[in-house]
Every structure is written in C-alpha cells, then in structure tokens.
Amino acid sequence: MENCGAWADQVMEKIRKKIAWVSEKNREVIPYTTDADRNYDNRADQNRDWNQDDGLNWWTNGFWGGIQWLLYQDTREETYAETARISEYRLEACFEQFYGLHHDVGFMFLPTAVADYRLTGNPRSRRTALHAANLLAGRFNPAGRFIRAWNDAEDADRRGWAIIDCMMNICLLYWASEETRDPRFRQIAMMHADTAMEHFIRPDGSANHIVEFDPETGEEVRSHGGQGYAEGSSWTRGQGWAVYGFVLSFLHTGKQEYLDTAKRAAHYCMANIPESGLIPIDFRQPEEPALEDSCGACVIACGLLELANCVPEPEQDMYRRAAVKILKAIEENRADWSEDCDAIVQDCSGAYHDTSHHMTMVYADYYFIEAIYKIKKEGILLW
C-alpha cells in the first residue's frame, strides 16, 4: 500500500520513544489500566487479594510482558527482556494458588513465558509455559468438545460456558504440541476450534461471545450476549478474537476451514467498520450513546493483517487497507504520545453494560504495537 510503510515507520518511532520511558517507570508493576492521574495501576500490588480474578491472576497480566518482548525483538535492548521477566516470574505464583486461573492462562503466558522461550531459549520459561498448557488442556470438556471458560460464580452456573476469546488462548496448546511433539494438545485445540466454528460463528460472519453447553451431554443450551450489547448482537472485540483466532488456528494446523471462517468473520467486520474508522463496543449497538472500544479495534486490525498474509496477493490489499484504516484512526484520534499518560491507546471499553467506558487497557497498546510491526513485517509471531 502506498506510503503505508513510511507511516508505520513514523508510528514506530513514536512507540519506541514512549515505551522507553513508560517501561522504565513501570518496571516493577503489572498494569491493566491507568488511574485518575493517568499513571498505570499495579495488578501485582501486594495489598490486593491477588488470589481473586482481579489481582495477580487478572487475565490481561501477560500483555505488559508482551509489550516488552515486542520492543526487545525490535531493539534487542536487554532492559526490555529484564522488565518482561519481572512480570513473567511473578505470574508463576499463580500456579501455587490455582483457584484464580482459568482459560486465560493463554493470554497470561503466551506473551510472557512462550515469548521468552521463543526469543531467548530460556529453559525456565519453557517449563512455565508447559505447566500453563497442561492447565488449559485440563479444562477440556470431551462431551461438548470445548474448553470451559471461567470458574464457578455465585450468580451463574458456568460449567458449560465457552467463549470466543479462547480462540486466542488455544495457541498455547498448539505451541505445546509443536514443542513436545505430543499431539494431545493440538487435538484438544482443534476440537475446541471446530466447536467454535460450528456454534459461535453465525452465517453472516458475526460471532457469539458466550455459548452455553450442557456440561454432561455437550448439547448447546443457548448463547449469551456477554460483553456485547445483547444476545444475538456483535461484540466487536469478540469479532477480533474470531478473525485473529481462526487465522492462527489455520497457521498452526493448515486446516482450510479455519481460514474460510476467519475470512467470513473478517468480511462481517469490514462491512461494519464506520467511516471514521473508530470501532464501537458492539457493531449492533444503538447509535446513542456512541460508545467505542479502541481495544477491539486494535485486535480486529491485527487479525486482518495476519489474514492478509494467508491469502493470495489479489486479496491481500483488501484486508490490509481495512486494518490500516482502523490503525490510522487510532493513531490520529485515540493515541496519547505525551508523557502525561502511561498508556498510548485511549477510549477502550470492557463491556457495553459496564458502568464506565472509554478508559485505557494495556492490551490495547499491545495489539496496536503488534499491528504496526505486522505492517512493517518485522519480528516473529508471538502466538
């Protein structure tokens, strides 16, 4: 694409400049979002009850280390590897407590331990990642051929719940099979992907967030709106997980149906990208309030760019143009390059019905940075 590379070079310089001081300032923390003073919080804060889901076990805790590994493979500056390992090694304590871990061990340990091992051969990281892979495989329900998402909750029976996000987490299982030559991990991942392909992706390419199965029989019970607007709607970050997740399953297995599914989900996304390039929380939400999720935007862009690498040349430009439109909208309108805020990407939202919106999220920065590297075609795939 004309001038796209030059634009990406300029953005990458901004990223290097910002992450250099943000990383140094936050070496000892594991951030999720920024506080009222626009400084990163710390999910590893010992004052938190980190045995619960919002402490050290918080599902996004791998992305801070992931940002460091993205910058490390770009600059080869050891300070990024050192900072990444601070959070990676702290996350090992989650194994001892166990109860706060669920399917998101993929998000926690792929950008940390697996990235470390892939880039440096660190044997400690290999052990950690295989431990996490075994925990993820242990959540597999053979009757329904799906990986259970979350743990028990007082307000819901989640034993049969699976979610679209897990299409990213199963990359941990693909890696474990590739690393150990044990096909069990890949077989579980593919059975889950097959179930997601059948039950999550609708004929028009939109995706369910949560599908509930009978945990005893494996029969589908119903879908849930989850973090989107309503049941049957189209949560945009979930659309990103679908596009990117099925592309990754194709890359790890070569199964054509996964690529076809990714393309169907991608075309639904592209047909619904607003003219502004700024992505709503749900593609089917009401026009007002005009709630955005810049994080979902970055995930979709990453998926589209990876998809472009998997299709014949005539198709590639279509996906790249859509991705770059999203990323340029973020960079021009929703990025903070100043020293007034630790995060880059602004106006992210966790769920449509949350009480607060338009915040920062560390994994929005991760996927934004990863997408810029994809445009530049630099670095290895960390998934």
Which one of 74, 165, 282, 365 is the catalytic residue? Answer: 165
327 neighbors 368 (Cβ within 8 angstroms)? yes
Which one of 41, 53, 74, 104 is the catalytic residue? Answer: 104
The number of angstroms, rounded, from the C-alpha of 319 to the middle of its chain's C-alpha atoms is 19
Cα–Cα distances in angstroms (integers) from residue 362 to residues 105, 112, 139, 257, in the given order: 17, 14, 26, 32
Distance CA 66, CA 113 (A): 9
| Nearest Cα to Cα of residue 185 among 170, 199, 163 | 170
**Active site annotation includes 293:** no
Cα–Cα distances in angstroms (integers) from residue 150 to residues 5, 51, 100, in the given order: 40, 15, 9
Distance CA 80, CA 93 (A): 21
SS3 string of 326-343? HHHHHHHHCECCCCCCCC
**Active site annotation includes 194:** no
Q: Name 223's bridge partners.
A: 211
Q: Structure tokens of 106?
A: 């993929």
Cα–Cα distances in angstroms (integers) from residue 239 to residues 41, 245, 265, 355, in the given order: 28, 10, 7, 22
301 neighbors 367 (Cβ within 8 angstroms)? yes
SS3 string of 32-92? CCECCCCCECCCCCCCCCCCCCCCCCCCCCCHHHHHHHHHHHHHCCHHHHHHHHHHHHHHC
**Residues noted as catalytic:** 104, 165
